[in-house]
């Protein structure tokens, strides 16, 4: 009778022989081409799962960490700020300079921890996502290449487009920014799911935005543009809201529109994506019935904001609608703590143009361009309610 040690030894030898055979075969065989649709762990609804349980678990942990740092710790930081203002005899509604606010708030450990944890969570999230997509670069690039040629829908890239300096910053401290990494769309999509703290895995926020869009008074919605579409989440939601319309997504970033198109193909939506500048879209006059955008204008200089709004007016038909969703731009002044947080966002989260956007009155700039502006009937989260109709 063979004892357990003998049996285990025999099994080990068998496994070693099998592994050696496989290794020899692998060395002579042609490596398999990456599949068109790389989904090693499938989808949960609209969201393609990350390629490993370890990666998904780490992102889940960071999301929970953000919920805590933005929630209980963030509220504690605000309480500390209010206490400091009272202690220093400062009216929190007064228009203090950022230098004065930094002097009294930056040295507090609770406020400092709140800000540091917010930024550190993002840094770690970006890092582990970038490692994943760059670590399997050939596979993910092959998937993008195949999707570029696939339908439904289309993607049009402009290899000669010169990306302006204002669009080249690493907004949200995302490595490479929106234009400097071939996987910017992948990284942005999963990284910003972390920003939404678990509430946008199925594009829920973008579905709310699309539901809040008000069509023109005549009800005609044949063509829609999602301006600065990023990974195409609002573009998809607009197509779901207006299924008979021809829906376009435009962005300065080739990686973004490539990823957006790939995702639309995988989800079976006929969408059209184009790489172009928001201030020089290339579309004909009066081409769209409806133009929407989401959190883009606080990421452009005020001069470019005006240029983009003028271009939107040109490509929107008379009676057509422009509905941008962005942060309120006309808080004069915001509370001291909010002003301090906005400065921190600008300085440490690479929101380069955030303060400049806050210095203008966005609805007035839209009105000057040739729109009639009123407050939209619906808002989403804390984004401004601006509804604009192009004048004749």
Across 286-309, average pLDDT: 97
Residue keyed to tokens 């400092």: 112
pLDDT digit string (tens) for 343-379? 999 999 999 999 999 889 999 999 999 999 999 998 8
Q: Quick one: average pLDDT of 284-296?
A: 97
pLDDT at 6 over 60: no
154-166+203-342+360-390 belongs to CATH 1.20.1280.50: no
Q: What pLDDT band is residue 18 in, cutting at 50, 70 and 90?
A: very low
Confidence of residue 331 (pLDDT cuts 50, 70, 90): low
- Spatial distance between the Cα atoms of 319 and 297, rounded to a whole number of angstroms: 23
The answer to whether residue 23 scores a pLDDT higher than 50 is: no
With CA atoms as reference, report the closest residue to 242 among 197, 289, 285, 293: 289
For strand 288-294 and strand 272-275, is the pairing parallel, antiparallel, or unpaired? unpaired
- For the chain, report the end-to-end CA distance as a whole number of angstroms: 96
Cross-strand partners of 390 = 371
- The DSSP string of 158-214 is -TT----GGG-S-GGG-TTTTTSSTTHHHHHHHHHHHHTTTS-TT-HHHHHHHHHPP
Give yes or no for residue 4 having a pLDDT over 80: no
| Bond before 210 cis per omega within 30 degrees | no
For residue 112, what are the contacts with CB-CB under 8 A and spacing of at least 6?
106
User: Is cis: bond before 20, omega within 30 of 0?
Assistant: no
Is the model's pLDDT at 28 over the cut of 70?
A: no
Q: What is the SS3 assignment for 283?
A: coil
Q: Is the pLDDT of residue 381 over 90?
A: no
User: To the nearest whole number, what is the mean pLDDT of the chain?
Assistant: 90
- What whole-number distance in Å separates Cα of residue 392 and Cα of residue 387? 16
Proportion of the chain in helix, strand, coil states, percent, rounded to 5: 50, 15, 35
Query: The dihedral of CA 35, 38, 40, 42: what is its sign?
Result: negative
Judged against a pLDDT cut of 70, whether residue 17 lies above it is answered with: no
State the burial class of residue 88 (Cβ atoms within 10 Å of its Cβ: 0-12, 13-18, 19+): exposed
**In the predicted model, what is the mean pLDDT of residues 93-100?**
89
Residue 354: C-alpha distances to residues 85, 97, 208, 292, 305 (Å)? 24, 16, 24, 20, 12
Q: pTM of the full predicted structure?
A: 0.89
**CA-to-CA distance for 33 and 44, rounded, in angstroms?**
26
Beta bridge partners, 290, equal 224, 321
What's the average model confidence in pLDDT over 2-11? Answer: 38
The dihedral region occupied by 197, where left means phi > 0, alpha psi between -120 and 50, and beta the remainder, is: left
pLDDT confidence tier of residue 35, bands split at 50, 70 and 90: low
> What are the distances in angstroms from CA 30 to CA 36, 38, 297?
18, 19, 49
| CA gap 45, 27 in Å, rounded | 39
pLDDT score, position 330:
67
Give the tens place of pLDDT for each residue, 107-154: 999 999 999 999 999 999 999 999 999 999 999 999 999 999 999 999
Whether 306 contacts 300, CB under 8 Å: no
**H/E stretch holding 6:** helix 4-28
Residue 31: pLDDT band by 50, 70, 90 thresholds? very low
């Amino acid at each position: 009778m063979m004892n357990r040690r003998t049996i285990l030894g025999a099994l080990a030898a068998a496994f070693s022989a099998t592994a050696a055979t496989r290794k020899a075969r692998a060395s002579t065989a042609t490596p398999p081409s990456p599949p068109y649709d790389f989904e090693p762990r499938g989808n949960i609804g609209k969201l393609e799962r990350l390629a490993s349980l370890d990666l998904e678990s780490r992102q889940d942990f960071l999301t929970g960490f953000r919920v805590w740092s933005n929630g209980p710790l963030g509220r504690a930081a605000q309480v500390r700020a209010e206490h400091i203002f009272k202690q220093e005899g400062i009216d929190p509604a007064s228009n203090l300079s950022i230098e004065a606010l930094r002097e009294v708030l930056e040295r507090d450990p609770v406020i400092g921890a709140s800000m540091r944890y917010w930024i550190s969570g993002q840094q770690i999230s970006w890092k582990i996502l970038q490692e994943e997509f760059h670590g399997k670069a050939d596979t993910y690039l092959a998937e993008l290449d195949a999707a570029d040629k696939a339908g439904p829908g289309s993607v049009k890239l402009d290899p000669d487009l010169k990306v302006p300096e204002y669009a080249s910053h690493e907004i949200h401290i995302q490595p490479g920014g929106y234009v400097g990494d071939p996987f910017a769309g992948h990284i942005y999509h999963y990284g910003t799911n972390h920003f939404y703290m678990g509430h946008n895995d199925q594009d829920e926020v973008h579905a709310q935005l699309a539901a809040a869009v008000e069509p023109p008074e005549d009800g005609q919605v044949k063509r829609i543009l999602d301006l600065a579409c990023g990974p195409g989440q609002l573009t998809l939601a607009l197509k779901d809201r207006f299924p008979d319309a021809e829906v376009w997504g435009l962005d300065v970033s080739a990686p973004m529109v490539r990823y957006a198109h790939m995702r639309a193909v995988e989800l079976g939506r006929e969408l059209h994506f184009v790489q172009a500048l928001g201030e020089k879209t290339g579309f004909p006059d009066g081409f769209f019935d409806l133009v929407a955008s989401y959190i883009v204008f606080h990421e452009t200089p005020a001069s470019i904001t005006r240029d983009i709004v003028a271009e939107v007016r040109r490509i929107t038909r008379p009676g057509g609608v422009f509905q941008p969703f962005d942060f309120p731009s006309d808080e004069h002044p915001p509370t001291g703590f909010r002003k301090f947080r906005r400065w921190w966002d600008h300085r440490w989260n690479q929101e380069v143009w955030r303060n400049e956007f806050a210095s203008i009155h966005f609805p007035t700039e839209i009105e000057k361009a040739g729109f009639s502006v009123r407050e939209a009937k619906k808002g989403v989260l804390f984004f401004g309610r601006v509804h604009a109709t192009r004048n004749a």
